[in-house]
A and B are shown apart, each in its own frame.
Chain A
Amino acid sequence: MRVLMTTLAQASHYYSQVPLAWALRAAGHEVRVASQPMLTDDILTSGLPAVPVGTDHVLQQMRQDLAMAGNVSFPKMYEERDEPPTWADALDFEILTTALMLMAANNDTMVDGLVSYARSWRPDLVISEPYTYAGGIAAAACGAAHTRLLWGLDAPGSARKVFNELRDQQPEQHREDPVAEWLTWTAARYDVPFGDHLITGHWTIDPLPESLRLPVGVPTLGMRYIPYNGRSVIPDWLLEPPRKPRVCLTLGLSGRDFMGADPFSPAELVEAMADLDIELVATLSGAQREGLEKVPDNTRIVDFVPLQALLPTCRATVHHGGFGSVGGALINGVPQITIADMWDTPVKGRMIENQGAGLFFRPERMSAQIVREGVQRLLDEPSFADNAARLRGELLAEPTPAALVAELERLTDEHRS
């Protein structure tokens, strides 16, 4: 098969696609990865052929502009709210995510470039990152099968389901559907009619354990999460067995590069754990270390270490809810503390807490004492490790990317035209 993978240019989103790309390639399929030009180096580093399309998105710039314009707050997922969403809530969510995220992430030149490439190369299957709606359009434009590969909770699928239900309850004259409007005029450039399948694909591949999936009601294939942490050198100290329970503190790639600012102060976290009888490994960039007066005796600070090498040696991990951090903890059965308030991260953190495999805190309600006590609980109460092991078991029961290839071949045959 020819497989065209595509993602908006964001390294952490791309990383979750890499192991499946390798699996398809190793099974003899032709795999190419299309994104905006600024992701090209990351694609090349992963050992896959890159297809730069269009011009770079301006998401970061837009966020900065909006922050200047006023008190910007990105809409909360419905699952995070106390009340069931109203039509006004749903419209708020759709208008802001469409105009401030989706339209910018799938900029016109990128969609044009992707469709044009797909029409020339004629892939059998398009695999898209869940916010890269350009992938659905390109697949429809060239007759390919289309699957989404999730990297977190299915926030777009879940939001779409809720929105559709609320929209259909409104009087005809009050209905609107911002994402459909945008996709309608965009897909019309290639004579592709709008349908919800452009958003949710023919099917969906979900790398989270079943206990951590939202009930979206779209055809879904489970896939074992396999970490890919980018280019990395394994440091020697990882070979020495830890003398004290090792705890990881990581704020992830997105927290550093994408959101612009850490959701909480890394220095504060390190100091909160300074008097615990643990070995703390904190992956902090230079800027994240600012404000840390001295490195506590129990702490090792590193700029970067691949989580897949570090987490198997850890008894607990503290993170911002990014998918690399969550997935790495899950596949290694490590109890986790999520401190998060952005997009799907608080919902994910809460679900993990409800599963008994970790704790969840909002940054604004966090204090040194809460973190310290939380880490201590993860280490002292065996139920956290037991439940983390259970979720790991769920993931291990899912097919690896390699084992999924045959099913993808079958579904592609069924759905391509």
Chain B
Amino acid sequence: MNSQDTTLQLPPLERALADLTDTELGLHLMSTRAMQWFLGSNGSDAYAMVLRGQTDDPYPLYERLRALGPLHASAAGSQVTCDPVVAARVLDGADFGPVGPAGKPVPPQVVPYFGRVPGRADKELWLPRFGAEACAAHDDLMAGVYRAALDRAPRPGFDLMNDVLRPATAEITAKLIGVPEGEYDRFAELCLRLARIPDSLLAAQRLDVVRDLDAAFAGLDALLGEVAGGAAPAEREALRAIWLLLSAEGVDAAARLAGNAALALLDDHDQWRALRERPELAAAAVEESLRHDPPVQLQARVARQDVELAGQSIPAGTHVVVVVAALGRDPQTYPEPARFDLTRGVVAPAGGGLNEFVAPLAKRQAEVALRVLAESGPDIRRDGPVLRGRRTPVTRGPLTLAVTTL
């Protein structure tokens, strides 16, 4: 079939990105972008509007999705849920997985994942290294890195995201993985370039963005392959996959988590003062941030087989999207859901969308970052508007967060 016939069709998702010409991949991305845009025209499909990713505040769109019922078929091809019971069922891992029944991604995922991901069998290897207990043992290391970054940041004005949270988080992860010190900068640069990976799977990105994600992923994979050379041969590949996930998705997720929390705290003087006075509330701030504005706003799954969901028959291969960010704003469960409250004392729904391999480290990093900021950082306040990304419906978090010590 020649390309003029495929303008509105999608090339097979199972082909590796590197095997697609720029014309094939570009046409696919542009057509998908146009379709997502078109379906959201005149606000007709709220989920398509979310995928468009042109708004700084998607929460009103999430409320529109919630009002559509526990499970809603978007014209963009996914079943969408904001319902806690349905979400729990989709995310519990039994009937729904990350890929389709044939082990491959299904439309409307936009591009295939960029490499391999760790599986359940790798959990044993992961737990003693990056489980909650293991991460807690690195508090001092983490605090030292965040403190140093904070001390290094320019005065009086600096960018909390890019001067402190992103580079320091990358450095901590590099240290824990065992990346050689001389490669820290390269590692951090690759992690930064990969921040949009979760977005690229659902919202069509520009061709150059996808090519750069692919190149950065390959670069990171190669770097971690070198590091894995020092591990026991039987563990090499599994460790490499774990490290890749922690780096490609975990680093920016942790930075966003800390950034989202810092933003909410700085926007409410009483909350910020409470944390300054009691830095041990940092863990509560992280949990509340995971509820209030999670670092992973959407999670996609595919039905492994025909299932019943929310009273509907869902065929195998159906793409289901959980609007994690809407779960935490459910007014039935959380009074005044839009208010960030350190003392709320609830567990964030769906763990704020964090991947299970990523969650313990990311949460610990964010907690330590917030504690350092509150405990030993200068008193800061926001300085100017927050810049948020476009076509970032999954990651949402601030691209820059300007603060000042004045």
Contact = CB atoms under 8 A, between A and B. Distances in A.
Interface string A102-139: 01100111100000000000000000000000000000
Nearest to A91: B54
A58 B7 contact: yes
B92 interface: no
A50 to B, nearest CB: 19
Contacts, number: 85
A368 B386 CA distance: 55
A28 interface: no
A186 B304 CA distance: 39
B32 to A, nearest CB: 9
Nearest to B400: A173
A182 B387 CA distance: 27
B207 A181 contact: yes
Contacts of A396: none
Contacts of B3: 107-109
B34 A95 contact: yes
B96 to A, nearest CB: 28
Contacts of A189: 22-23
A186 B42 CA distance: 31
Interface string B12-39: 0000000000110011001101100111
A185 interface: yes
Given A55-B2, A104-B7, A108-B4, A99 B34 contact: yes
Nearest to B22: A185
Interface string A64-99: 011001110100000000000000100110011011
B8 A96 contact: no
B34 to A, nearest CB: 3
Interface in B192-215: 206-208
A173 B390 contact: yes
A306 interface: no
Interface in A166-217: 171, 173-174, 176, 178, 181-182, 184-186, 188-189
B30 A99 contact: yes
Given A70-B44, A109-B2, A188 B30 contact: no
Contacts of B37: 91-92, 95-96
Given A58-B4, A109-B4, A181 B30 contact: yes
Contact residues of B: prevailing secondary structure: helix
Contacts of B405: none
B41 interface: yes
Contacts of B86: none
A91 B55 CA distance: 13
B399 interface: yes
B196 to A, nearest CB: 11
Contact of A108 (B2, B42, B44, B75): B2
Interface residues of B, number: 29
Contacts of A108: 2-4, 23, 27
A185 B39 CA distance: 25
Contact of A176 (B7, B22, B38, B390): B390
B389 interface: yes
A96 B38 contact: yes
B5 interface: yes
B316 to A, nearest CB: 25
Contact of B22 (A69, A92, A188): A188
Nearest to A106: B4
A174 B30 contact: no
Contact of A98 (B4, B23, B34, B207): B34
Given A58-B4, A91-B54, A176 B34 contact: no
A173 B389 contact: yes
A70 to B, nearest CB: 7
B30 A110 contact: no
Contacts of B7: 58, 62, 99, 103-104, 107
Nearest to A176: B206
B396 to A, nearest CB: 13
Interface string A45-68: 000000000111110001001100
A272 interface: no
Contact of B390 (A107, A174, A178): A174
Contacts of A70: 38-39, 44, 75
B311 to A, nearest CB: 26
A58 B54 CA distance: 30
Contacts of A310: none
A393 B323 CA distance: 64
A57 B4 contact: yes
A73 B42 CA distance: 10
B39 A99 contact: no
B356 to A, nearest CB: 30
Contacts of B38: 66, 69-70, 96, 100
A238 to B, nearest CB: 42
Contacts of A185: 22-23, 26, 207
Interface string A343-385: 0000000000000000000000000000000000000000000
A104 B7 CA distance: 7
Contacts of A95: 33-34, 37
A88 B54 contact: yes
Contacts of A171: 387
A189 B75 CA distance: 34
Question: In the complex, which of the residues A54, A88, A181, A186 has the most CB atoms of chain B within 10 Å of its own CB atom?
Answer: A181
Nearest to A57: B4
B8 A65 contact: yes
Question: In the complex, which of the residues B5, B34, B75, B399 has the most CB atoms of chain A within 10 Å of its own CB atom?
Answer: B34
Contacts of B8: 62, 65
Contacts of A57: 4
A110 B34 contact: no
A98 to B, nearest CB: 7
Contacts of A173: 387, 389-390, 399
Nearest to B205: A176
B193 to A, nearest CB: 13
Given A99-B7, A173-B390, 10 more contacts: A58-B4, A62-B8, A66-B38, A96-B34, A96-B38, A100-B38, A104-B7, A109-B2, A173-B389, A184-B207
12 contacts: A57-B4, A62-B7, A65-B8, A66-B38, A71-B44, A91-B54, A100-B38, A110-B4, A173-B389, A174-B390, A176-B206, A186-B23
Interface of A: 54-58, 62, 65-66, 69-71, 73, 88, 91-92, 95-96, 98-100, 103-104, 107-110, 171, 173-174, 176, 178, 181-182, 184-186, 188-189
7 shortest interchain CB distances as A-B pairs: A107-B4, A99-B34, A108-B3, A185-B22, A185-B26, A95-B37, A174-B390
